[in-house]
Amino acid sequence: MSDIVLIVVGVAGIAWLAFLFVSSIRAGEEEVAPNLSPFLSNEELETVRMDRTLGVSIVLVGFLAVSIPLYFLTETNRQARFEDTFLEESILRGEEHFEDPAGCAQCHGGGGVGGAAATFEPRSGVATTWSAPALNDIFYRYDREEVKFWIVYGRAGSPMPAWGLEGGGAFNDQEVEDILNYMLEIQLPQNEVIANAESAVGSAANLLAGADAAMETTLEEQQDEIDVANSAPGLKDDATRIGAAATNLIAGRPEEYEGEPSQAPAGVDTDRDGLTDEAENRLPALIDEALSLGFGDFDGALAAIDLDPRNPMTNGIDQDFDIATAQVGHLSNAVLLIRVTADNLDKTLEPLEEGLAWLEAAQTNKLWEVDTGSLTVDDPERAVNLFNANCARCHTSGWSSGTMFANPIGSGGFGPSLQPPRARLQFTTPDDLRNFLYSGSESGVGYGVSGIGRGYMPGFGASLTAEDIDLIVDYLWGESLGGPDVPPADPTEEGSG
Site residues, ligand HEC (CB under 6 A): 103-104, 106-108, 117, 130, 132-133, 135, 138, 141, 147, 150-151, 155, 158-161, 163, 179, 390-391, 393-395, 400, 414-416, 418, 422-423, 426, 433, 437, 441, 448, 451, 453-458, 460, 472, 476, 496
DSSP for 68-114 reads: HHHHHHHHHHHHHHHHHHHHHHHHHHHHHHHHSTTSTHHHH-GGG--
Phi, psi of 120 (to 5 degrees): -115, 135
| Those residues with Cβ within 8 angstroms of residue 56's Cβ, 6 or more apart along the chain or in another chain | none
- The nearest distance, CB 211 to ligand HEC, in angstroms, is 18
Tell me the sheet residues that pair with 118.
129
CB of 445 to ligand HEC, least distance (A): 9
Q: Shortest distance, CB of residue 410 to ligand HEC, whole angstroms?
A: 9
193 contacts: CB under 8 Å, gap ≥ 6? 137, 140, 462, 463
Provide the minimum distance between the beta carbon of 406 and ligand HEC in the complex, in angstroms, as a whole number: 16
Measured from the CB atom, the residue of 329 and 453 that comes closer to ligand HEC is: 453
**Residue number, 312 or 497, with CB nearest to ligand HEC:** 497
Question: What DSSP assignment string belongs to 331-372?
Answer: HHHHHHHHHHHHHTHHHHHHHHHHHHHHHHHHHHH-TT---G
Q: Which is nearer to ligand HEC, 222 or 385 (CB)?
A: 385
Considering the complex, state which of residue 150 and residue 298 has its C-beta at the smaller distance from ligand HEC: 150
| Chain centre distance of CA 468 | 29
Alpha-carbon span 152 to 137, nearest angstrom: 19
C-beta of 155 vs 236, nearer to ligand HEC? 155
- Measured CA to CA, the distance from residue 306 to residue 490 in angstroms comes to 56
Least Å distance, CB 147 to ligand HEC, is 5
Name the residue nearer to ligand HEC (CB basis): 309 or 380.
Answer: 380
| Minimum CB distance to ligand HEC, residue 473 (Å) | 8
Cα separation, 458 vs 386, whole angstroms: 15
Reduced to 3 DSSP states, what percent helix, strand and coil does the chain have, rounded to the nearest 5? 60, 5, 35
With b for 16 or more beta-carbon neighbours within 10 A and e for fewer, the 12-41 pattern comes to eeeeeeeeeeeeeeeeeeeeeeeeeeeeee
- Sign of the Cα pseudo-torsion (24, 29, 34, 37, in order): negative
| CB closer to ligand HEC out of 128 and 341 | 128
Question: Whose CA is closest to 397, among 380, 417, 383?
Answer: 417
**Residues facing residue 131 across a β-bridge:** 116
Q: How far apart are CB 349 and ligand HEC at their closest, in Å?
A: 29
In angstroms, give the least distance from the CB of 472 to ligand HEC. Answer: 5
Q: Which is nearer to ligand HEC, 159 or 284 (CB)?
A: 159
- Nearest CB to ligand HEC, comparing residues 186 and 211: 186
Q: Rounded CA gap, 132 and 114, in Å?
A: 6
- Taking the complex as a whole, how short is the minimal distance between the CB of residue 417 and ligand HEC, in angstroms? 8
To ligand HEC, the closest distance from the beta carbon of 447 in angstroms equals 7
Strands 446-447 and 451-452: antiparallel
What is the SS3 assignment for 464? coil
* Closer residue to ligand HEC (CB): 98 or 295: 98
